[in-house]
A and B are shown apart, each in its own frame.
Chain A
Amino acid sequence: MGALSELQARPAPAAGEDLVPVLPALRTLIPALRPGMVVCVEGPASLGLALLAGAAQDGGWCAAVGIPELGVLAARGMGADPARLLLVDEPGPRWADVVAALTEAVRLILVCLPERPSPTLARRLVATARKNGCVLAVRGDWEGAQLRLRADTAGWDGLGDGHGHLSGRRVRVVTAGRGAAGQGRAAWMWLPGPDGRVTSAEEPPRRLEVVA
């Protein structure tokens, strides 16, 4: 019953518009991504991979531009299918042309900006992306991004002093941005959890510190 009311409470995506899905754990923050949207991702690299994995649900293609160190296994653990991933590791100064070409083919492009794009170039890329139903997730500075995602980490679990192995990390993801999308909402989640997936988490218990 609780699950049902939760389903009803979730805003339904507008009909006719091809929204880009996000992972279930992120839906409390962002219901879905609109085509032509620019999402600035700050903080851990896993956050960008989580967006990639979200857009790759139900058969979508994704691309990563300028990120040669992308952890493909981590993206797969979050639910992205490597067979539907395109990687352009070294776009060089022609990165904007590469991104423009990819908007036609994929739902979400994760791009590491080598420089801050000029306003004209930024507008042109956003228009191309909107026309082709694609979302840009950028690492770096983008003036006028609709949504900014930031993650504060509470450290990794599972490691002791010479034993154990890294099992998961709890982060607090905070949104900020213009319009309805960004109202400074925050949520705790496992990024990644013990099985590599992203799931929502409870707030970690405060550790008591001995002060006297």
Chain B
Amino acid sequence: MSRVLVVWCPDWPLTAVGIEAAVPGAVLERQRIAACTAAARAAGVRRGQRQRDAQRHCPELVLTDRDPDAEGRLFETVAAAVAALTPRVEVLRPGVCAIPARGPARFYGGEEALRMLVQDAVVEAGHDCGVGVADGLFTAELAARAHSTCGVIVPVAGSAEFLAPFPLAVLDRPELADLLLRLGIRSLGEFAALPAPDVLARFGAEGVLAHRLSHGREPRPVAPRAAPHDLSAQQVFDEPAARSDQVVFAAKALADRLHDGLAQEGLTCVRLAVEVEFQDGTISERLWRHDGLLSSLAVAERVRWQLSGRQPAPGAQSAVWGGVSALVLTPDQVVPDTGSQQALWGPGSRGDRGALPEQVARAADRIQAILGHRSVTRPVIVGGRGPGEQVLRVPVGDLPLTERGDGPWPGRLPEPAPAVVPALPVPAAVLDGSGDPVMVSARCAVTAAPAYLDLPRGPRLAVTSWTGPWPCTERWWDPGQARRRARFQLTTPDGAYLVAIEAGRWSVEAVYD
């Protein structure tokens, strides 16, 4: 039985959407609670509850939809932190990863030392976690969750004893657990005490599997089989390729070979790892989504994007940094090829995510390879009063927000909307005829008519006409976020401005340009 170390980050689906453990929050999947924070659990929220029930237990619950992509993306930071200590990291699912413990434990001086080291590494990466070591994955994961996110080490051959007090729910087989409960069996220990042949006779193969788990054994006996062929394809450039088109050309041939190899085994891959080794020893590695849909040309194109992401200067358009010495294409997550069928009504009938046309998704991928994930955004209109508050920029590929009904927003600006909305209001000054700042009293009376507008750059502008103040008191029930503002529209000889005064300071919120 092999020793396994498991890193478990509590409530990962919530961490991924940015909800802190101290805030009562939950993520939804098909209108049911998929996961919730410790604060929400304390208030009585449970997994699998309906949204309504959860809100009844905890009215201040923060609810969002589950975002599996964000979970996976964010977990890369945890996996990378663990991989810095030992290279063989297996991500079981976002939130849980495992490493074989025997070798690293010997290297770092014992299992406890390794456990602390891994825990510190993940905490330094910015995430809370529990780390457990035990025989086999199932026990190790429970060990990682034990003692409220601290984790324990289960001694060799101590699995059965460790598992005995756990309830049957940890088997994650609700029907079996329900049946056993009605037969009077409440814990894993009691289940393990049943004779195996009787379990097989009464509960079938599924029951035997669970029975083995409750003993702390692997779910099925280890069945050694021939190691799969190395499916990756690589090319070493004896003379480093100095131009990107050389590399792209080689990539096409490599992709052909890779696809042939996969097709012979009847397989396809979910993702494709492209590794480019440069002459100066640096390696650029990136995973691209494949899903068995990419042609060889499309693979070559992705290699080109990856290279263009590394260009040091815009001047050198085709030169690759110091030359490429090797190119490796590795299929990641190999799965049986079941073929793919376009939806009857074309792509795009698969709901929101498929709504992005192929070319748009490709262009966005390419820009994100150059500038990063947050560089390409799509605007989403949300509720709000000011012109900047009503627009949210969501990176392409992230879950679009669910459209909410546009509630009444008393004090919302009238149409038409301004054409220039700076991300942050620009500080300015509005002066009256004698050069003193214009002020607005608590009863919304203006001290004097605005006569001049001072912008940080440029000359003093004379105000030709004005209107206001339009008071706007927001979130007065929350002292931390309360804002009181009064907005004005001003015209000057060359333009029109939306200005606001807040706590005695003027700023330009938007320009009607």
Cβ contact of A86, chosen from B308, B396, B513, cutoff 8 A? B396
Chain B residues with CB under 8 Å of A167's CB are: 416
A90 CA to B378 CA in the complex, in Å? Answer: 14
Interfacial residues of chain A within 66-96, with CB under 8 A of chain B in the complex: 68-74, 76-77, 82-83, 85-94, 96
Which of A61, A160, A192 touches B465 (beta carbons < 8 Å)? A160
Question: A167 CB to closest chain B CB, in angstroms?
Answer: 8
Contact in complex: B420, A71 (CB < 8 Å): yes
Kindly state the separation between the CA atoms of A169 and B396 in the bound complex, as whole angstroms: 34
Stretch at the interface among B5-13, B126-134, B197-205, B361-369: B361-369
Verify A105–B363 contact, CB threshold 8 A.
yes
A contact residues around B491 at 8 Å (CB): 155-156, 159, 166
A residues near B466, Cβ cutoff 8 Å: 159, 161-162
Place the interface of chain A in its size category: 35 or more
Does B261 lie at the interface of the complex (its beta carbon under 8 Å from any beta carbon of A)?
no
- Given A82-B381, A86-B378: A44 and B513 within 8 A (CB)? yes
Known: A159-B491, A166-B489. A71 touches B421 (CB 8 A): yes
What residues of chain B lie closer than 8 Å to A91, measured between beta carbons?
Answer: 371, 375
Shortest distance from the beta carbon of A166 to any chain B beta carbon, whole Å: 5
Bound CA span A136–B496, Å: 28
Q: Is B376 an interface residue (CB 8 A)?
A: yes
Assess whether B360 is in contact with A165, with CB atoms less than 8 Å apart. Answer: no
Is A106 within 8 A of B378, CB to CB? no
Which residues between 147 and 167 of chain A lie within 8 Å of chain B, taking CB atoms? 155-156, 159-167
Chain B residues closer than 8 Å to A87, beta-carbon distance: 376-379, 393
The answer to whether the Cβ of B48 comes within 8 Å of any Cβ in the partner chain is no
In the complex the two chains form, is B378's CB within 8 Å of A82's CB?
yes
User: What does the 1/0 interface line of B454-473 toward A look like (CB < 8 Å)?
Assistant: 00000000000111100000
Residues of A within 8 A of B416 (CB): 74, 77, 166-168, 192-196
Provide the residues of chain A in CB contact with B417, threshold 8 Å: 71, 73-74, 76-77, 196
Tell whether, in the assembled complex, residue B363 and residue A104 are in contact, meaning their CB atoms are under 8 Å apart.
yes
Q: How many residues of B contact A (CB 8 A)?
A: 48
Does A97 interact with chain B (Cβ within 8 Å)?
A: yes
Interface assignment of B314: CB less than 8 Å from any CB of chain A? yes
A166 to B491, CA, bound (A): 9
From the candidates A73, A85, A101, A155, name the one contacting B367 in the complex (CB within 8 A).
A101
Min CB gap A122→B, angstroms: 14
Q: Which of B313, B375, B468, B513 has the most CB of A within 10 A?
A: B513
- Chain A residue at minimum C-beta to C-beta distance from B413: A165
Across the interface, do A165 and B489 meet the contact criterion of CB distance under 8 Å? yes
Contact indicator A159/B314 (Cβ below 8 Å): no
A45 touches which one: B396, B420, B423 (CB < 8 A)? B420
Say if the beta carbon of B449 comes within 8 Å of chain A: yes
B367 lies within 8 A of A161 (CB): no
B361 nearest in chain A by CB position: A105
Q: When chains A and B are docked, how far (Å) is the Cα of A97 from the Cα of B313?
A: 12
CB of A89 within 8 A of CB of B449, answer no
Q: Which listed residue (B360, B387, B390, B396) contacts A106, Cβ 8 A? A: B360
Q: Which residue of B371, B380, B418, B467 contacts A92 across the interface (Cβ within 8 Å)?
A: B371
Check A82–B379 contact: CB distance below 8 A.
yes
Q: Is the CB of A165 within 8 A of B381?
A: no
Contact B465 A161 (CB under 8 A): yes
A89 to B417, CA, bound (A): 20
Asked whether any CB of chain B lies closer than 8 Å to the CB of A39, the reply is no
B512 interface residue (CB < 8 Å to A): yes
**Nearest CB of chain A from residue B13's CB, rounded to whole Å:** 26
Known: A194-B416, A195-B415. A159 touches B489 (CB 8 A): yes
Q: Which residues of A contact B414 (CB under 8 A)?
A: 165-166
Determine the residue in chain B with the shortest Cβ distance to A87: B377
Q: Is B123 an interface residue (CB 8 A)?
A: no
CB distance from A177 to the nearest CB of B (A): 23
Partner of B423, one of A69, A93, A105, A162: A69
Q: Are A86 and B364 in contact (CB under 8 A)?
A: yes
Contact B370 A46 (CB under 8 A): no
Query: In whole angstroms, what is the CA distance A104 to B301 when docked?
Result: 13
Distance, CA A45 to CA B416, complexed state (A) = 14
**Alpha-carbon distance between A87 and B364 when the two chains are bound, in angstroms:** 10
Q: How far, in whole Å, are A192 and B512 apart by their CA atoms in the complex?
A: 10
Task: Determine if B169 is an interface residue (Cβ-Cβ < 8 Å).
Answer: no
Which residue of chain A is the closest to B372 with respect to CB atoms? A90
Interface residues of B (CB under 8 A from A): 308, 313-314, 357, 359-360, 362-364, 366-367, 370-371, 375-381, 387, 390-391, 393, 396, 414-423, 446, 449, 465-468, 489, 491, 496, 510-513
Besides the known contacts A68-B423, A97-B314, A105-B362, 11 further A-B residue pairs in the complex with CB atoms under 8 A apart:
A61-B357, A73-B390, A73-B421, A83-B378, A89-B393, A91-B375, A98-B367, A156-B512, A162-B468, A166-B491, A169-B512
User: Can you sample 27 A-B contacts with CB below 8 Å?
Assistant: A45-B513, A46-B419, A46-B513, A68-B423, A69-B420, A71-B418, A71-B421, A72-B421, A73-B417, A73-B421, A76-B381, A77-B415, A82-B378, A82-B381, A87-B377, A87-B379, A88-B371, A91-B371, A96-B314, A97-B314, A101-B366, A156-B496, A165-B414, A166-B496, A166-B512, A168-B416, A195-B416
A interface residue numbers (CB < 8 A to B): 44-46, 49, 61, 68-74, 76-77, 82-83, 85-94, 96-98, 101-102, 104-106, 155-156, 159-169, 192-196
